[in-house]
Amino acid sequence: MRDYFNIQLTPDQLREMSSLALAHMGDGVYELLVRGWLCSGGLEVNGHLHQETVALVRASAQAAALDRILPLLTDEENGVVRRGRNANIHLIPKGASRGEYRKATALEALFGWLYLQHRTERINQLFDVIMNPDGGEEGA
């Protein structure tokens, strides 16, 4: 049976994947991280969890998250971000500017790319900076 939690791609397959495919994967990864962060912080009311999740995964919040981690990225990671930001996006959700949505797509592409390489330590480093900009490692 194939392990869908541990997808194995060759470097060529990963390089050939579109930025929007990376962002699609990264969208799920990022939301899972946010949900885990919120739940580990002791929030127990489903309605409140959902509202907080939506607030943290909306395009404006993801754009701010990307701005926070940009100075920490390697050249290779910056290349993935650049590809994600320049992806051919047709529909912008209401409530988001085109610039915010492009940055959000770039952030998601980065997280998808890192996930597909099984670089969970790097994902955790970047996510910790996003969620704890003052350097403290704590939950919600």
Catalytic residues: 27
Structure tokens that stand for 91 in this block: 């529909």
Q: Single out the residue of 72, 70, 33 nearest to residue 53, CA to CA.
A: 33
Structure tokens that stand for 82 in this block: 């650049």
Looking at this protein, which amino acid is placed at residue 60?
S
Phi-psi region of 96 (alpha: psi -120 to 50; beta: other; left: phi over 0): beta
